[in-house]
Chain A
Amino acid sequence: QQPVQSPQAVILREGEDAVINCSSSKALYSVHWYRQKHGEAPVFLMILLKGGEQKGHEKISASFNEKKQQSSLYLTASQLSYSGTYFCGTENQAGTALIFGKGTTLSVSS
């Protein structure tokens, strides 16, 4: 039931782009994306809903393929502040809580 994220880690220089993928074995109502910096709480980035509605961050975009049960997070022209661990979350069977993937660690250097 846990979504699968890839890659596990990404290393970038400022200005480079990255894509983080999230896939599920079950039909999805929504996909959430969160970023967690070291020693801090996860912070909401984006929510993608079945039917195409998106809500979230101005500089980060995402896609949601309902048929393939996949979502991708696109980080373009990365900045140092993008460093952290990115989690995707999908609802559990009952739709009562998010189950998170194992995370993708992004490191951006100057």
Chain B
Amino acid sequence: DTAVSQTPKYLVTQMGNDKSIKCEQNLGHDTMYWYKQDSKKFLKIMFSYNNKELIINETVPNRFSPKSPDKAHLNLHINSLELGDSAVYFCASSQDRGTYTFGSGTRLTVV
């Protein structure tokens, strides 16, 4: 079983569309995250959820909204996609300030 799974792996969409990326972890971790990795490989924290509570929200446009139906899932919804949103999005999870386990990533391309 994959510890942290993301879907879809690839997403190509037009500007202005709305899309969602799903993430599920089966590790029993209490915190989940979304990171954005741009073309320069910079890994930037976007959101984290701890026990269904949003605990950080960096300078991310409000077009991005995380949704966590339960402790094992953290989905990312993006409205009105822009060219600059093209990147690889990684979901991750951790427990008690310990190691992070990353999903395999979703490559989003906005055309």
* Chain B contacts for A29, CB-based, 8 A: 97
- Tell me which of B43, B48, B90 contacts A96 (CB under 8 A): B48
Once A97-B48, A99-B45, A102-B42 are accepted as A-B contacts, the answer to whether A44 and B56 lie under 8 Å apart by CB is no
- Tell me which of B42, B48, B102 contacts A42 (CB under 8 A): B102
* Contact call B99/A32, Cβ cutoff below 8 A: yes
- Tell me which of A42, A43, A44, A98 contacts B45 (CB under 8 A): A98
> What bracket does the count of chain B residues touching chain A fall in?
20 to 34
* Chain B contacts for A102, CB-based, 8 A: 40-42
* Contact call A94/B56, Cβ cutoff below 8 A: yes
Q: How far is the CB of B63 from chain A (nearest CB, A)?
A: 21
> Interface residues, chain B, CB within 8 Å of chain A?
31, 33, 40-43, 45, 48, 50, 55-56, 90, 97-105
